[in-house]
Amino acid sequence: MSTTSREPDDRAVRGLDTALTGTVVTPGDPHYEDVREVFNSMITARPAVIARCATPDDVATALAFAADHRLEVAVRAGGHSVSGASLADGGLVIDLRPMNEVSVDVDRRTVTVGGGATWADLDAATQPHHLATTGGRVSTTGVAGLTLGGGSGWLERRFGLACDNLLAVDLVTAAGQRLHVDEESTPDLFWAVHGGGGNFGVATSLTFELRPLPEFCIALLVWPESEGRDVARLYRDLIDTAPEAVGGGVIYHTAAEDDPVPPELVDTLCCAVLVTHTGPIGELREFVAPLRAAQPRGEFVAEVPYAEFQRMLDDPPGHRNYWSDENLRELPDAAIDRFCDRAQEMPVPSASQQLLFPWGGAISRGREWPGFDRGAAWAVHPFGVYLDPADDARVRAWSRGLCADVRPWGTGDAYLNFIGDEGHDRVVAGFGERHYRRLARIKAEYDPDDVFHRWHDIRPSRPTMAGAD
């Protein structure tokens, strides 16, 4: 793909603005910075053109404009890509946020959302019907980006990943072709969008299966950091035999004033266990009884509407972000020791977290979509969220060090939505070599010029006689 742009002049930009149902924003506009800003404040790329698309035809028009002016293309829904895939410096951003409509079919238990919808939009529409599908772990994440990259979330042990519940996608290709992607009409492309990310086109609409969720409750129990090792082992032993309705994770974090902790723990490093349960609160209380017997210094156990819980966890805007991931096949005591020891290097106080998620359950039974190993039992996720640029080197060292510490028990792959730009080899490992080769052939069919390369790029490759799977 050529990266030599032909800077569009004012007349060309005005022509694009006239051609769109939506609007065009450029650096000279007073609200440019507000529209340009993404979740990760480390990303300072300044697009030449932001096309705020209101229809699929707008998307096709914007793509044609980018091709004509040789502008790099980025696609934005929620803007949560830690690597900055939602922006292109000097390029064109297809901003889907105006396309955030949500339609629930209660009888069929499906929901269809626009490509710019967030999980807050989806959950607010499904909550009144006591229906849900696996979303992210906060409400501000874009539905499209999270789902196309696999879609890990709090409900995954019960309902599978977000992509496991994806029934259809409406896609605009690099050439402007509009496709309805489902298992019957385009089986290869349907497989590819279940974890292959935004490599194949712009998702303007997604349809999901919904699951009944009449009850949802949580328990948050907090200990001083010094007790984290024993707490993590206890949680591991409990989750090994837990029903699939139970999820959550172990979280090292800086305790805040509004956390359920005594004043002396505020602004200190603490270890928390979050337990989620898609069932009655009585069952949750029974499950967490051994954890409560370990005498947490703070606790909160309650029924909470799922959509409200998602909003409770929204990350603060304006922070710097650096994340990574290591998937584990097992979690012996030695791995827990290394996990807990590395927490000492987190910046405190900050919004950073060091997370240990259990997988298994419905994830392990899911179809073999592209993406991480379904046999992975745990995910270790350093989640650096902080304000001071002086902490950049420290956060990177902590994140990379934690992943290296637990790698002896790793599966060798990664959940790509959890990582930034860690090199092409990491992308191939995330998909697995066999899946990557198949994805590359599908990419060559639908995006031969690699227009959509900002999200963990799959490089198009034509099949060869020897390379066929």
pLDDT digits (tens, 9 = 90+) for 83-105: 999 999 999 999 999 999 999 99
Q: Write down the mean pLDDT value for the chain.
A: 95
Structural domain 99-213+423-469, CATH architecture: 2-Layer Sandwich (3.30)
Give the pLDDT mean for 410-437.
95
Location of each CATH 3.30.43.10 domain in the chain: 10-95
Q: How many CA atoms lie within 13 A of 321 on its CB side?
A: 25
**Is pLDDT of 219 > 60?**
yes
Once rounded to an integer, what is the mean pLDDT over residues 118-122?
98
> ∠ at Cα 248 (108, 279), nearest 5°?
50
Q: Helix, strand, or coil here: 130?
A: coil
The pLDDT-based confidence of 463 (bands split at 50, 70, 90) is: low
Nearest CA-CA partner of 164 in 189, 128, 191:
191
Burial status of residue 367 (CB atoms within 10 A of its CB: 0-12, 13-18, 19 or more): exposed
**Portions of the chain given CATH number 3.40.462.20:** 217-418
Return the beta strands (E) in 260-359 as ranges: 269-277, 298-303, 320-323, 326-328, 353-358
The Cα 464–Cα 102 span in angstroms is 42
Name 325's Cβ contacts closer than 8 Å, sequence gap at least 6. Answer: 379, 380, 381, 403, 414, 415, 418, 419
Q: In this predicted model, what pLDDT tens digit does every residue of 347-385 receive, in sequence order? A: 999 999 999 999 999 999 989 999 878 889 999 999 999
- Residue range(s) occupied by CATH 3.30.465.10 in the chain: 99-213+423-469
Letter string b/e over residues 338-353, b meaning 16 or more CB atoms within 10 A of that residue's CB: bbbebbebbbbebbbb
**pLDDT tens readout for residues 311-332:** 999 988 899 999 999 999 999 9
Question: Whole-structure pTM over 0.85, yes or no?
Answer: yes
* CATH architecture, domain 10-95: 2-Layer Sandwich (3.30)
Instruction: Break the chain down into helix, strand, coil percent, rounded to 5.
Output: 35, 20, 45
The strand ranges marked E within 347-438 are 353-358, 378-386
* pLDDT range class, residue 2, cuts 50, 70, 90: very low
CATH class of 217-418: alpha beta
pLDDT tens digits, residue range 156-181?
A: 999 999 999 999 999 999 999 999 99
pLDDT of residue 371: 81
Instruction: List the structure tokens of 264.
Output: 């002396």
Element (H, E) at 76: strand 73-76
